[in-house]
Amino acid sequence: MEDFLKELERESLRIKGEFFLSPRERLFLDFIREKGIPKEIALAGIRKCYGEIPPRRRSRYPLFLCLRQVMETYEEFLRKRAQEMEIDWERIFKLKLEAVKELLESEPPMPGSEEEAEEILKEVEKEVFNRLWGQLNEELKREIVRKFRKFRREEELFKELVKEELRKIYRIPVLSLYVDSL
């Protein structure tokens, strides 16, 4: 695990043209590791992100702002891998919904395609985590917010970190056809 982080850090520094990463950037790399994103996939997302930044601005562009590109690259990787394996998306869709059915107000519609199933699962996941956050006691909410306060201004990353914390607390699987978490 340490090698994973060191290698990600070394390559990130090379891409940024910097000598060190901030504590928040290191936490971001740790988040990538905890999510199980393979090193090469994470680096591809980081390269994509910094490829869009003019070279002179790269050293001042925080690594954690690459979250969207890293996640998009990871989702594409998972989608391709699943297509190569010819997954039974209808069965997986039903299993994922079954895992969270008590947390849903109503049953979502049955999708007509794999892509539609993935979109429905994303919406269901959003609903589930909004509901869980709303039900959480105030003390635990404050503790979670305090834990990730360094990322409060980076709304997208902050929400992702909170979601992952709730996922751990409530043991909610990743609601995606392409992530085997059941």
pLDDT in tens, 31-64: 888 888 998 999 999 999 988 888 888 788 888 8
pTM here is 0.71
Residue found under tokens 């003019």: 54
Tokens for 167, please give them. 């996922």
Per domain, the residue ranges of the chain are: 1-86, 88-182
Is residue 28 a contact partner of residue 67, using CB atoms and an 8 Å limit? yes
Instruction: Give the list of residues 6+ apart from residue 94 with CB closer than 8 angstroms, or none.
Output: none
Q: What pLDDT score was predicted for residue 160?
A: 86
Question: What's the rounded Cα separation, in Å, for the pair 152 and 111?
Answer: 35
pLDDT score of 1 more than 60? no
Question: What's the rounded Cα separation, in Å, for the pair 105 and 98?
Answer: 13
pLDDT score of 134 more than 60? yes
Give mean pLDDT, residues 132-143: 94
Q: What pLDDT score was predicted for residue 2?
A: 66
Torsion sign over Cα 61, 63, 64, 69: positive
Instruction: Give the list of residues 6+ apart from residue 43 with CB closer than 8 angstroms, or none.
Output: 8, 11, 12
**Strands (DSSP E) found in 63-150:** none
Question: What's the rounded Cα separation, in Å, for the pair 12 and 64?
Answer: 11
